[in-house]
Amino acid sequence: MLDGVNSKPDFDTMAVHAGREDLVELGLHAPPLDLSTTYPARDSRAEAARLEEFAEGARPPGQPVYARLDNPTVGRFERALAELEGAEQAVAFASGMAALSACLLATVAAGRPHVVAVRPLYGTSDHLLASGLLGTRVSWATPETLAAELRPDTGLVLVETPANPTLREHDLRDLAIACGEVPLLVDNTFATPVLQRPIECGADIVLHSATKFLGGHGDVLGGVVACREGFARSLRQMRFVTGATLHPLAGYLLLRGLSTLPVRVEAASATAHELATRLAEHPAVLRVHYPGLDPLRPRGQLRGGGPLLAFEVAGDPHAVIGAVRLITPAVSLGSVDSLIQHPASLSHHIVGEDDRRNAGISEGLLRLSIGLEHVEDLWADLSAALEAGAARRAG
């Protein structure tokens, strides 16, 4: 809380005010939405010099010349997210995968194309690394073998915690030590800065699929990377040439989403913990994956259990999916409504079967993203669906 004029505000207060600090001076209450695709200027020589700065990844003052280079509305979201993650800068992209692609391209351009990654990851992230489509070469590791996989050309270590879709946690402080001088990139989509701030634990780069909890309403697509200024310049260079820019309206919606992020995440986390506890006692459930129920989890890292859980059913998982009536049967997560999906069929279907199995993604695993519905309504829907699944054995 604020103890004086120079005290740092509480996180909840930061979430409301970040990116909006100048609005009173501008005589505005809501942040302005700038939809311009080009920015006129009569001084062509000055514009040429500024264009060169943008091409080098800088952010010169003034208007951005062209919307692919920068946008004032998106810039507000970037400043806000950087503040919430405790980072020097943030760079926004058209999607989470565009953000990850820019990170990988930056490592390739720096002459260090080798990446060490810890499974499980989001399925498309796994596929991108395994395919080598962007010129990277990947070595898969466990937290225990990570240090042994590092090479002179290793440019990045990639981990997701809590992991998608098993909710497995990794000790970021231990991983940061194992990485040595190699940058550690943490996908923080599941936790959000409300529950976990990886930079405080030694990470160098934090990635979000902003589509999820940051937006929070299932109506905006985006990605963002929080990091130091040096890496941010490299990312802006990639965005400059690839055009993977975040639309200003998406930036506006994401900034608005940040203001309610703590309230949404904390409410959904409380419901998730209650549902995970009940699922653990249900006869149709073989195992529940939820950080809040794990006595061996890393301490002082994830604040609470989080708003996602996964569970393995004894019956037919597809029958469970087909039987829900309140919960939305769909991919994605982080919306105000609860969503359930079968990772082996959807989010991780593109990952090879053996790799899925080795990462703990069984055929009976279901992933549940908790929204803002009442816990008893969600439990009634889940209970009925589990009964339907139990009536049919998994094929």
Tokens describing residue 236: 């802006």
187 as an active site residue: the answer is: yes
Whole-angstrom distance, CA of residue 77 vs CA of residue 20: 9
Closest CA to 198 of 338, 87, 123: 87
Asked if 122 is an active-site residue, the reply is yes
- What does 334-392 look like in DSSP terms, one character per residue? -SSS-EEE-TTTTTTTTS-HHHHHHTT--TTEEEEE--SS-HHHHHHHHHHHHHHHHTS
What does the block give as tokens for 354?
A: 């053996």
Three-state secondary structure call for residue 63: coil
Rounded Cα gap, residues 17 and 2, in angstroms? 13
Give 312's strand partners.
287, 365
377 is annotated as an active-site residue: no
Residue ranges of alpha helices (H) inside 19-122 are 23-26, 44-55, 72-85, 96-109
The one catalytic residue in 187, 204, 316, 381 is 187
Residues 313/285, Cβ–Cβ less than 8 Å: yes
How close are the terminal C-alpha atoms of the chain, in Å? 54
Question: Which of 122, 290, 316, 356 does the annotation list as catalytic?
Answer: 122
Contact 84, 193 (CB under 8 A): yes
Q: How many residues does the chain have?
A: 395
Question: Of these residues, 66, 68, 287, 337, which one is catalytic?
Answer: 68
Helix (H) or strand (E) holding 239: helix 229-242
Q: Is 39 a catalytic residue?
A: no
Q: Which sequence positions are flagged as catalytic?
A: 68, 122, 187, 212
